[in-house]
DNA sequence: TCTGGGGTCCTAGGACCC
DNA sequence: TCTGGGGTCCTAGGACCC
């Protein structure tokens, strides 16, 4: 058998973070609101018990909240990010195989701890709580999908005290039998309906279905799910942090926006924010996307969704360039006469920048950076954009680069860059 | 007059290339 | 008269997750 996997999940993470810094909130219903205080994005157990739904619009439920003494907090992502880093840091002390899955969840490979899984998990839980004040739940199983199931049991069943080691067939069977399809990680309404139509109505049906049949009637993701439910790992633990494949900045507007000018301002600032995020990760992008949406909740409004991407000749992390590209894309999709609710900028085709290039974006005027940019511009003019994409930093066409690396065109290009 | 802001992966069709 | 086979890129959309 392969090594067991643990899923560690922070309980009601944002609400718990607020409580750490304001202990008076303990034992009380707490909700955290999205940007602009639009809707509920986190709830304490007490708030859940009041029937407050995830995503509930705050203004719509304001009176009910006040009646029940619900304590409301605007979100503070800087705080949550910091708390998350502390929790992950502690988890890293308990295994070398740590995959940070989201801001409040991590998968841990527990190879080598097989004979004391539960003890190890309890120790982990106790340490995180003691050092950060954040309560976590731990589910242990043979695969990631089953670890999710085990984690759910650990949370729901108070008798388990936050930890559930689910390795015996009887326990797996019992847990799955008490769940709906949509409780599974990776199955939501649409997929549950499709599965239902082919006779698969419960998690146990899915586990016992023929994988080839499931593949044929749905997709490869569901086929993997069948195997994962049987305890055969199909989703590897990814302990190396992967670079982002896209970076987005978007916002809903507080009131309908109708003019191109206002949208240009918004999109420019989103581009700047996204570019900042990108530079912090030492990335540059070769593709800038923009999208525009009207308010889909207002049936009386004419609806329009537009999106458009612009390809850059050279991967860049320069705010002015990206904002310029974003505004060009925006102008090509903007249509007069709509009431816009949301807009966003997406940076794609991300590439790791070298140290030199990393410095470049922040201090373009240094002699070395000027030389490098000069070389890239000359190459761009001389060879055309395909070749430039390689030269810039190993764009997603990188495989071509490997295949053709002996071609004179590529070699010249690369050597010229290296010579800078 | 209210309903977030990030992400990931998969599929499918058309353009284009050799 | 008939009409390959294999591949990439791009775009759009669907579905899901936290």
Residue A60 to residue A335: CA distance in whole angstroms:
31
Q: Is the CB of A307 under 7 A from strand B?
A: no
Q: In what order do the strands lie in the sheet with A305-316?
A: A247-257, A340-352, A283-294, A305-316
Would you state the structure tokens that stand for residue A279, as one six-digit string? Answer: 């530079």
Evaluate if the CB of A148 falls below 7 Å from strand C.
yes
Enter the pTM of the model.
0.84
Stretch A211-229: mean pLDDT: 90
**How many Å from the CA of A335 to C1' of B16?**
30
**Alpha-carbon span A270 to A274, nearest angstrom:** 6
In the predicted structure, residue A376 carries a pLDDT above the cut 80: no
Estimate in Å the CA A389 to C1' C6 gap, whole number. 24
Q: How confident is the model at residue A27 (pLDDT cuts 50, 70, 90)?
A: very high
Using CA atoms, how far apart are residues A227 and A108, in angstroms rounded to an integer?
20
Cβ atoms within 10 Å, residue A225: 28
Report residues 185-244 of A contacting strand B, contact meaning Cβ closer than 7 Å: 219-221, 244
Instruction: Tell me A242's DSSP state.
Output: P
Say if strands A305-316 and A340-352 run parallel, antiparallel, or are unpaired.
unpaired
Give A1-25 pLDDT, tens digit per residue. 689 999 999 999 999 999 999 999 9
Work out if A24's Cβ lies within 7 angstroms of strand B: no
Helix (H, G, I), strand (E, B) or coil at A111: coil
CB A391 within 8 A of CB A379: yes
For residue A321, say whether its CB is under 7 Å from any atom of strand C: no
| Tokens 């090594």 found at | A3
CA-to-C1' span, A68 to B9 (A): 41
Q: What is the mean pLDDT of residues A135-155?
A: 97
Strand B–CB A41 distance below 7 A: yes
Residue tagged 């986190």 (tokens)? A42
Å between CA of A330 and C1' of B1: 27
The tens digit of pLDDT for each residue in A378-401 reads: 555 554 444 433 333 332 222 223
Q: pLDDT higher for A218 or A398?
A: A218
Cα–Cα distance measured from residue A113 to residue A95, given in angstroms and rounded to the nearest whole number: 9
Q: Which nucleotide is nearest to A238 (CA to C1')?
A: B8
CB proximity A295–strand B (7 Å threshold): yes
Tokens of A396: 């997603």
DSSP bridge pairs for A249: A345
List all nucleotides in chain C with at least one atom under 7 A from a protein Cβ: 8-18
On average, the pLDDT of chain A sits at 86
Confidence of residue A319 (pLDDT cuts 50, 70, 90): very high
Q: Is the CB of A333 under 7 A from strand C?
A: no
Residue numbers 248-277 of A with CB closer than 7 A to any atom of strand C: none
Residue A367 pLDDT? 60
- Mean pLDDT on A243-266: 93
In chain A, what percentage of residues exceed pLDDT 90?
A: 67
Using the CA of A270, which nucleotide's C1' is the nearest one?
B5
Report DSSP letters for A3-16, one per residue: PPEEEEEETTHHHH
- CA→C1' distance for A372 and B15 (Å): 35
Residue A357 scores a pLDDT above 60: no
Distance A282 CA to B14 C1' (A): 35
**Averaged pLDDT, A307-333:** 89
How many Å apart are A27 CA and C6 C1'? 64
Of A282-286, A326-330, A356-360, the range with the highest mean pLDDT is A326-330
Whole-number Å distance, CA A289 to C1' C14? 19
- pLDDT tens-digit map of A101-110: 999 999 999 9
- Binned at pLDDT 50, 70 and 90, residue A276 comes out as very high
Would you state the pLDDT for residue A373? 57
Band (A403; pLDDT cuts 50, 70, 90): very low
User: Is A37 in a helix, a strand, or coil?
Assistant: helix
- Helix pair angle (A367-383, A385-393), 10° resolution: 150
Residue A420 has pLDDT above 60, yes or no: no
Tokens of A361: 């974006």
pLDDT at site A67: 94
- Torsions phi, psi of A25, nearest 5? -80, -10
CA of A87 to C1' of C17 (A): 21
* Strand B positions closer than 7 A to protein CB: 1-11
pLDDT higher than threshold 50 for residue A247 = yes
Q: Between A77-91 and A13-21, two packed helices, what is the crossing angle to 10 degrees?
A: 100
Q: In this structure, is the CB of residue A271 within 7 Å of any atom belonging to strand B? A: no
Residue A314 has pLDDT above 80, yes or no: no
Q: What nucleotide is nearest A41 when CA is compared to C1'?
A: B4
């Amino acid at each position: 058998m392969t090594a067991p996997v643990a899923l560690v999940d922070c309980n009601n993470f944002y609400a718990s973070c607020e409580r750490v810094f304001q202990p008076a909130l303990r034992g009380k219903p707490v909700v955290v609101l999205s940007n602009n205080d639009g809707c509920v994005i986190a709830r304490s157990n007490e708030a859940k018990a009041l029937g407050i739904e995830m995503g509930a619009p705050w203004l719509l439920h304001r009176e009910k909240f006040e009646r029940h003494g619900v304590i409301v907090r605007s979100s503070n992502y800087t705080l949550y990010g910091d708390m998350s880093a502390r929790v992950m840091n502690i988890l890293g002390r308990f295994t070398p195989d740590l995959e940070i899955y989201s801001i409040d969840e991590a998968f841990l490979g527990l190879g080598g701890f097989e004979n004391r899984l539960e003890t190890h998990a309890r120790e982990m839980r106790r340490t995180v709580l003691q050092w950060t004040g954040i309560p976590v739940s731990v589910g242990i199983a043979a695969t990631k999908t089953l670890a999710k199931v085990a984690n759910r049991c650990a949370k729901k069943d108070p008798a388990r005290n936050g930890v559930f080691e689910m390795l015996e067939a009887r326990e797996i069977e019992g847990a799955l039998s008490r769940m709906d399809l949509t409780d599974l990680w990776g199955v939501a309404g649409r997929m549950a309906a499709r599965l239902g139509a082919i006779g698969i109505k419960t998690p146990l049906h899915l586990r016992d279905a023929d994988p080839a049949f499931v593949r044929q009637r749905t997709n490869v993701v569901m086929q993997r799910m069948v195997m994962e439910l049987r305890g055969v790992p199909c989703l590897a633990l990814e302990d190396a942090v992967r670079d982002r494949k896209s970076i987005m900045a978007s916002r809903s507007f507080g009131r309908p926006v109708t003019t191109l000018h206002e949208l240009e301002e918004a999109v420019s600032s989103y581009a700047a924010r996204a570019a900042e995020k990108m530079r912090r990760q030492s990335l540059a992008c070769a593709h800038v996307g923009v999208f525009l949406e009207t308010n889909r909740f207002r049936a009386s409004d004419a609806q329009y969704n537009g999106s458009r991407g612009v390809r850059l000749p050279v991967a860049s992390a320069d705010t002015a360039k990206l904002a310029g590209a974003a505004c060009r894309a925006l102008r090509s999709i903007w249509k007069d006469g709509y009431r816009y609710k949301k807009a966003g900028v997406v940076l794609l085709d991300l590439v790791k920048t070298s140290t030199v290039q990393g410095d470049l974006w922040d201090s373009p005027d240094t002699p070395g950076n000027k030389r490098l940019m000069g070389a890239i511009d000359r190459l761009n003019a001389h060879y055309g954009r395909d070749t430039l994409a390689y030269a810039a930093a190993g764009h997603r066409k990188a495989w071509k680069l490997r295949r053709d690396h002996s071609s004179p065109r590529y070699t010249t290009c690369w050597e010229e860059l290296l010579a800078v």
